[in-house]
Amino acid sequence: MLDRLTDQPADKILKLMQSYKEDPRDDKLDLGVGVYKDENGNTPVMRAVKKAERRILEDQTTKAYVGLAGDPDYARTMRELVLADSVAADRVAAIATPGGTGAFRQGVDLVRLANPDATFHVSAPTWPNHVSILKTTGTPFTEYRYFDAATGEVDVDGMMADLEKVAEGDVVLLHGCCHNPTGANLTGEQWSGVAELLRERGALPFVDIAYQGFGDGLDEDAAGTRILAETQPEMLIGASCSKNFGIYRERTGILFAIGDAANTKTTQGNMNHLNRQNYSFPPDHGARVVSTILDDPELRADWQAELEEMRTTMLSLRQQLADELRQRTNSDTFDFVARHRGMFSRLGIDADKVEQMRRDHRVYMVSDSRINVAGLNEATVPQLAEAIAKTCA
């Protein structure tokens, strides 16, 4: 049987990581992999995470399974972090998942249980794994316009025109903040317009929020998600703790389903069922770290302070890169980099020039010109700006 298998296409980012590792040149620059790096190129364990893990190590008395949905304290603290008071708690069902990827996959399967005929509408572009999971599960999907490569901003008119065509019962996938891969975000007013349109169309919003706190702040980054929660009869939210808690390898995510309170018990039962069929019980260590931090005022304050340091560092690097590029190109072509938010920006450079930068300047970025801003530091920003200016002259 196994001899019937054929090779799967290589993941672009994983392939890029391997090429970077194999490159013997000094001063090579990795802007592909989506992890936060400090000024020394390391991905640190956050202070509050270390403290929480020490506390858990000392206090934990068992490694027995948690429930199918995961630890209730984790669900509660994450609901409060993402949704605040935008929706009544009795309208929210939740399951812990292995990362934000697991949350998206479980959300797709929940939709397929509820409405097998639903089509997913995803932004053009979106995170590649969204499309990969939809294809793997045989879920129909289509794209809506989102990013204007010429301006580096959201194509709001195109987006709204495409969403006008969404059928009742379809699912619209939205990035809660810090859009991956573009870095271009909706404004509060635009979120309200999307919310009104989706409600009129009878569509189900599915928000993927993986970078809360990396853009404009914890509450600011959740504002669009909360607008939807306040206005929609139903919605799904997949959240990740990988980035804002720096616990990538712990695979800590959560799926929320918001609906009528009368249906919450049935919805919760279906979500528990999906966890049971997929991996029985969700992992707990990362979830326990998160709830420990969020429930302790001192740990939470320290976590928020370090998260704010990371956020402002990325904003500073964005501004530095935009300034360096303006100076070297004598144009405002790349000013949008400073207006983008989160870890990523798409530069609008074609694949041939991206390859040329890798070959001639030791700069590694995804072929669609997505860069991880958090992979830079003050010393390497000029290197990237010089590579872009020389390649795109």
Active site residues: 127, 208, 210, 243
Q: Is residue 125 within a helix (H) or strand (E), and if so which, with residue range?
A: none
Pair 20, 357: CB distance under 8 Å:
no
Which residues, 6+ apart, have CB-to-CB distance to 204 below 8 Å? 111, 118, 169, 170, 171, 172, 234, 235, 236
Q: Are 254 and 95 in contact (CB under 8 A)?
A: yes
Please count the CA atoms within 13 angstroms of the CA of 73 that sit on its side-chain side: 14
Half-sphere exposure of 232 (CA within 13 A, CB side): 33
CA distances from 279 to 70, 97, 100, 229, 275 (A): 12, 9, 15, 29, 6
Phi, psi of 67 (to 5 degrees): -70, 170
Q: Using CB atoms within 10 Å of the CB of residue 114, give its burial: 0 to 12 exposed, 13 to 18 middle, 19+ buried.
A: middle
